[in-house]
Amino acid sequence: MVCFSKIFNIALHNLHGNSSLAFSQLSLRRTFTKKGLQILIQKGLITATSTEHGFVYAINNNGINIVNSIESEYKNEYIILAEKIYKNFHHKNDIELQQLVSKKSIKLEGGIL
């Protein structure tokens, strides 16, 4: 959602530009995210905590140190957008988020909601 935050009325532009294929990338990104989380846990950069709602992932001090060592406008904008996405959508569960994405996808493709 961060990379295409304009679609969700969070930003004035999409971090990765405009693309008619924006939503087709989401399923692939989900696969990459799962693998990425595994790697980050193995490298000791995030922690995973099991809850009654599933796993919660959080960056730890090692991860924060890595992020702080990176200097780029992209990183800064990504963090700002991620915080805005969280603020606006943290109360939604996975199913609600998938429904929102589906509705936005249909609308983006010119479908009727």
Segment 65-104, tens digit of pLDDT: 999 999 999 999 999 999 999 999 999 988 998 898 888 8
Inter-residue contact 28 to 20 (CB < 8 Å): no
- What pLDDT is stored for residue 22 in this prediction? 67
- What pLDDT is stored for residue 29 in this prediction? 76
Residue 62 burial (CB count, 10 A): 14
Segment 25-58, tens digit of pLDDT: 666 777 888 999 999 999 999 999 999 988 999 9
Instruction: Tell me the pTM.
Output: 0.74
Instruction: Please list, in sequence order, all residues whose beta carbon lies within 8 angstroms of the beta carbon of residue 43, skipping any fewer than 6 positions away.
Output: 62
- What pLDDT is stored for residue 113 in this prediction? 47
Instruction: Please list, in sequence order, all residues whose beta carbon lies within 8 angstroms of the beta carbon of residue 99, skipping any fewer than 6 positions away.
Output: none
Distance of alpha carbon 35 from alpha carbon 40, whole angstroms: 9
Q: What are phi and psi of 33, to 5 degrees?
A: -65, -45
